[in-house]
Amino acid sequence: MPADFTLTDKVVVVTGASRGIGEAIARACAAAGARVALASRRQEGLDDVAASIAADGGSALPVACHMGKPGEVEALFDRVTDELGPVDGLVNNAGTNPYFGPMLGITDAAFDKTFEVNVKGYLYAVRAFADRADGGSVVNVASVNGIDAAPLQGVYGMTKASVISMTKTLAVELGPAFRVNAIAPGLVETRFAATLISNDEIRERVVSATALRRHAQPHEMAGTAVYLLSDASSYTTGQTIVADGGLTIT
């Protein structure tokens, strides 16, 4: 039986979909045949992505949503279910990192905001998905910062370690109906990572320690997400696939 990497007629919710990795994953899902719901805080950016996907022949529903607010997350999944049908897949990608510096210097407000979006938001979304569907696939976007030390991004790294742990536990608790996996990107050229990319010293230090000797582009994360959402990965759950160009093996 051939592996089925398509998402034909599946409904997939992608959070943080207005730019960067989320946008790239949403575009790849639409190209693979999914009806995609795009979520992020700002409607304007979502509208632009949805229009571009439609121009390419895909289907996308843009819905503004703060993923750290459970009421908004519930409303998002209600609307998607009403307009597109039962959700088959969820990509948790929305994230924030308001503080860059030594871990002990972070304020309580920045700490709470980072966990609100990066951890609570993921959990709220999975709960809303699981409450409305009989099964499906969840893809959590984590980070290599959740695997190795994350100097100057310590609390962000803590949240991503939490995501990896959450992925394993939910895979057990929601199986066999739902599969739950994660992707751990390395350094990817996005607006989110602009502080790192634009710093020559930091960028070169990371690139020189990466087996492929370069940082990634957002579209290079999309194929892994489509695989994990598709039936081609039907016996894969609880796993974190590291997509870092070989950074964590050197």
Compute the distance between CA of residue 130 and CA of residue 175 in angstroms, rounded to an integer: 11
For residue 57, with 0-12 CB atoms within 10 Å meaning exposed, 13-18 middle and 19 or more buried, which class applies? exposed
C-alpha–C-alpha distance, residues 140 and 122, integer Å: 8
Measured distance CA(31)–CA(100) in Å, rounded: 36
Which member of 99, 122, 124, 156 is catalytic? 156
What is the C-alpha to C-alpha distance for residues 201 and 99, in angstroms, rounded to an integer?
Answer: 19
Whether 154 contacts 103, CB under 8 Å: yes
Clarify whether 156 is annotated catalytic: yes
Number of C-beta neighbours around residue 32 at 10 A = 22
8-state DSSP, 176: T
Q: Which residues are within 8 A (CB) of 145 and not within 5 positions of it... i.e. 6 or more apart?
A: 153, 156, 157, 160
List phi, psi (to 5°) of 21. -65, -40
Catalytic (active-site) positions: 156
